[in-house]
Structure formats: C-alpha cells, structure tokens
C-alpha cells in the first residue's frame, strides 16, 4: 500500500465523516416542513442539531482541503468541472448556515418563515446534489487529455446521477428522521420514527437499484458488492430497529449504512479518482492526480496526530449534548 492509496482511503474517510454527520443534519433541515406542526416544534428540531451542525460541516472543508493537498489534479478537474452544481451547493450552504444563526434574531413570523425556507432548501439542495456529484465521479465524466472537463452541465444530470441524487436525498432524510427520533421526546419523537420508516423504505429501494446499477456499470467488484450488500442490510436493520423503538441502534445502523455505502463507491472508483468517459488514458488515478510523496508524507503525519484529536473532542460535544429535547425545553 503506497502513500497514494493511504490518501485515497483518507479522502474516503473524510467523505464518510461528512455524509454520516452532515447527512442527518441535512435530513433534519429538510424535514422541517414535514414534521413540525408549529413554531415550537421547529425550534425543537433545529436545536437537536444546533450545537453540532457547524462542526459537521467542517468535514466537507477538510475533505476539500485534503483533496487539494493530496490530489491537486483531482481537486482542479473536479471543482472546475462540476462548477454549477458546486455553485448551487455553496449558495445552499451559505443560506442554511446564516439561517440557523439569524432565524431567532428578530421576533417576526415572516422573518422566521423566510429563514426556515432557507434551512429547508439549503438542506435539500446539497442532499440531492452530493449524490449527483458522487454518481458522476464513479461513472466518470468527459475528461480530455489535459484532464480538463469538456462536458456540459446537462451531461452531469444523466439518469444514473439523478438516481444517485435521489438516493442521498432519501437516505439523508431517513438518517435525519431517525436522529430526530433519537434526540426528541413526546409526540414529535413518535412521528419522526414513523416517518423514518416510510422514508427508509423508499431510500432502501432506490439505494439497492443504484448500487446494482453501479455494479453492472463497473463490471462488478467483489469487495464493493459485499460492502453494498452490507450497506443495504444495515439500512434494513435500521428500519427494523426504529420499528421496534430501538432508536439508538437504529441511528447507529443508519450511520453504518451511509458510511459503508460511501466506502463501497470509493472501492468501485479505485484506482481511478475521476475516470474519463472519453478514453481511459485520460482518467485521473491515485497515481497521476497525486501530490509528491513528500507532501503526502507530511500530510499523513498531520492526519495521524490531529484527526483522532478532532474525533475525540467532537464526540465529547455529542456527549455533552446527549439529552433529548422536547417542546417543554424550549423557552418562550
């Protein structure tokens, strides 16, 4: 295993961290209009992720920065090639982040309603588009010999990618609903559990179709098949657990499902990082997209020291805010 492989794995880990964590807070944001009956319930939902969503989002910045550092060619081709989807994601993340902080800053229903739309749309758009983006990465895009993207925006919206988007959308919504069932009390907890079950069935059907399509497209890869099956089983397990009212287990299993599904896609992708559909010779791989061994070596030390530290204090945050929240807890 070379340093290039280590960094391919490290990038996968960062995306797993990002999707497992921000996946549920996207879910919570999207479910605001579906679950909350009134303003107080909205506040209950938003406060379940209040102390943690920003820390969750840093996983994205770290994944982006690490890709830049470890695979500059990948970063350059991906970010310039996926320009418009990334622009939409940026706008969504900006509106959403500001909305969390500002929604309670004026005592006006219109003001709050406006920001709540920002949270809902700002969660929905990235939840959909990250799936579209990842499906395109796995499927490959039109890269020329200089590794420049020569396709259009519409090429990125192919059926396979749209299916990928629907998978992340429903999966994150399910993950978020399970998280809400785990973190709330009272009526909203029950409704979140029931909704998780419905959304989860849709997510499971879409995910199985997507993973099967992925295998058919890539010609089948034993490890990724095993991982894909494992992801599907975890999701089913999560649904069984939520049905039985075991919210802790359900959340653990849905987190595993999201994480393992991401890993399975990275396994399909390897050793490419961004395949070219024009010619395999144009594909970006862990070799030709990478930084020098020197940079990779330094970054390895940095990651080995600091990533566990981050995990430690971030886990501690979740421990500090482990209590369930109910309508009763919201100050007038």
Partner 1 sequence: MDALDLARWQFGITTVYHWLFVPITIGMSLLVAMVHTAWVRTGKPHYLRATKFWGKLLLINFAMGVVTGIVQEFQFGMNWSSYSRFVGDIFGAPLAMEALLAFFLESTFLGLWIFGWDRLPKKLHLACIWLVAFGTMLSGYFILAANSFMQWPVGFTIANGRAELTDFGAVLTNKVVLATFPHTIFAAWLSAGIVFMAVSAWHVGRRRDLDVFRPSLKLGLWTALISFVLIFFSGDTLGKIMTETQPMKMAAAEALYETMQPAPFSLLTIGTLDGTEPIFQLEIPGALSFLATGSFDGKVQGINDLQAQYEKEFGPGDYRPYIPITYWGFRLMIGAGALAALIALVLLWLTRKGRIPERRWIWSVAVWSVVLPIVAHSFGWIFTEMGRQPWIVFSQMETVAGVSPSVSAGTVLFSLIVFTLLYGVLAVVELGLMIKYGRKAPPPVEPPKEDDDSTLAFAY
CB-nearer residue toward partner 1: 104 or 205: 104
How buried is 180 (Cβ within 10 angstroms: 0-12 exposed, 13-18 middle, 19+ buried)?
buried
CB of 251 to partner 1, least distance (A): 19
- We find the least distance from the C-beta atom of residue 208 to partner 1, in angstroms, to be 32
Distance CA 127, CA 254 (A): 16
Q: Closest approach of Cβ 119 to partner 1, in Å?
A: 10
**CB–CB of 122/99 below 8 Å?**
yes
Nearer to partner 1, 279 or 317 (CB): 317
Shortest distance in whole angstroms from residue 292 CB to partner 1 = 5
At closest approach, how far in Å is the CB of 300 from partner 1? 11
Cβ 60 to partner 1 shortest distance, Å: 8
Between residues 225 and 330, which has the closer beta carbon with respect to partner 1?
Answer: 330
Residue 141 phi/psi, 5° resolution? -130, 170
Closer Cβ to partner 1, 2 or 80, answer by number: 80
Q: How many CB atoms lie within 10 A of CB 267?
A: 18
C-beta closer to partner 1: residue 16 or 242:
16
Question: Do the Cβ atoms of 167 and 231 come closer than 8 Å?
Answer: no
Residue closer to partner 1 (CB basis): 82 or 210: 82
CA nearest neighbour of 234 among 214, 254, 216, 248: 254
CA 276, CA 73: separation in Å to the nearest integer?
13
Contact 56, 18 (CB under 8 A): yes
- Distance, CA of 266 to CA of 259 (rounded, Å): 11
């Amino acid at each position: 295993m070379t340093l290039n492989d280590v960094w391919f794995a490290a990038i996968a880990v960062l995306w797993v961290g990002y999707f497992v964590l921000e996946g549920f807070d996207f879910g919570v944001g999207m479910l605001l209009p579906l679950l909350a009956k009134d303003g107080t319930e909205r506040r209950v939902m938003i406060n379940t992720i209040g102390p943690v969503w920003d820390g969750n989002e840093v996983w994205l910045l770290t994944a982006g920065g690490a890709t830049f550092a470890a695979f500059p060619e990948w970063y350059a081709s991906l970010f310039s090639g996926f320009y418009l989807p990334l622009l939409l994601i940026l706008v969504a993340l900006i509106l959403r982040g500001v909305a969390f902080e500002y929604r309670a800053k004026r005592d006006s229903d219109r003001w709050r309603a406006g920001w709540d739309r920002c949270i809902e749309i700002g969660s929905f758009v990235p939840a959909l588009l990250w799936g579209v983006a990842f499906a395109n990465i796995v499927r490959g895009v039109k890269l020329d010999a200089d590794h420049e993207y020569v396709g259009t925006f519409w090429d990125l919206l192919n059926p396979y990618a749209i299916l990928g988007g629907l998978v992340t959308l429903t999966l994150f919504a399910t993950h978020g609903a399970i998280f809400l069932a785990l973190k709330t009390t009272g009526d909203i907890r029950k409704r979140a559990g029931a909704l998780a079950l419905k959304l989860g069935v849709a997510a499971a059907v879409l995910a199985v179709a997507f993973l099967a399509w992925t295998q058919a497209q890539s010609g089948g890869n034993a490890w990724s098949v095993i991982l894909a099956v494992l992801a599907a089983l975890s999701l089913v397990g999560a649904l069984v657990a939520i049905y039985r009212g075991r919210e802790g287990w359900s959340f653990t299993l849905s987190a595993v499902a999201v994480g393992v599904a991401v890993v399975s896609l990275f396994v399909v992708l390897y050793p490419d990082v961004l395949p070219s559909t024009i010619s395999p010779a144009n594909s970006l791989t862990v070799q030709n997209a990478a930084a020098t061994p020197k940079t990779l070596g330094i970054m390895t030390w940095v990651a080995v020291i600091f990533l566990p530290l981050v995990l430690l204090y971030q886990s501690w945050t979740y421990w500090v805010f482990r209590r369930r929240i109910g309508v009763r807890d919201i100050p007038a």
